[in-house]
Amino acid sequence: TTRLLTLTAEGQSYLGAARRILADLDDAEQAVADQGAPRGRLRVSAALAHGRLVVVPLLKDFVALYPHILVEISLTDAVVDVAAGQADVAIRFGRLADSGLTARKLGETGRIVVASPEYLARRGEPVEPEDLHDHACLNFSFRRAEPVWPFRRDGIDFALTVRGPVEANNGETLTQLARDGVGITRVGAFSAEDDIREGRLIPLLEGFNPGDREAIHAVFVGGTNTPARVRVFVDYLAERLA
């Protein structure tokens, strides 16, 4: 239209191929440069909460170790396309798609259901998972994130569909909404750790927590042409997060 231009499927394919060619050229140039100290721009994508709480605090020492690397960090809970050249390294949670990328495991995390003391004083505390049907539950808005929360009772896993007044595309916002007393949410344990310690959030239904763990991986384009800046960054994360 006169207001919006979008690429056709063929155009998208061509754009992806062009990006890969440019990335290959950049890698070839970098392979020569890598004969010395690792250098160049390193584009890192991380989830908002994990990036702010875990990855960003590690950058101070990394940039001191590798002063010739320029780190460009993007914090978003959206999945970026590493294969298409949208990032050099992406830190991802959960099951990985079979994309042909190289993945390095950095650790694991669990999830936890939480609410603020103010919300619980106003609405009461759920005792059984089914009680959540009478509560305001705050969910992720990703297409891949169905409003279904897993639980376990007497060794049997089951799931509940929950609803609420607000959805968000990142865990930081959901945690903030829970702190503000808007509702109950289920987020990564690392997102709520400080708030639980300080009493701003209360863990709920822990007796029904299925104990599911999500693996955390650094994902990148592997192979002999992987730039040194990518290799040293992934090695650094794996060492510091071990």
pTM higher than the cut 0.85: no
Q: pLDDT for 74-118, tens place per residue?
A: 999 888 999 888 999 999 988 887 678 999 999 999 999 999 999
Q: Is 138 helix (H, G, I), strand (E, B) or coil?
A: strand
Instruction: Tell me the C-alpha distance between 204 and 197, whole Å.
Output: 14
Q: Which residues of 72-102 are buried (b: 16+ CB within 10 A; e: fewer)?
A: eeebebeebebbebebbbbbbbeeeeeeebb
Convert the pLDDT of each residue in 126-173 to its tens digit.
Answer: 999 999 999 999 999 875 556 899 999 999 999 999 999 999 988 899
Which residues fall within 8 angstroms of residue 80, CB to CB, at 6 or more apart?
A: 45, 74, 86, 87, 90
Cβ contacts of residue 236 below 8 Å, gap of 6+?
58, 62, 65
Which domains does the chain show, CATH number per domain?
9-109+215-241 (3.40.190.10), 110-212 (3.40.190.10)
Residue type, 64: A
What is the reported pLDDT for 2?
47
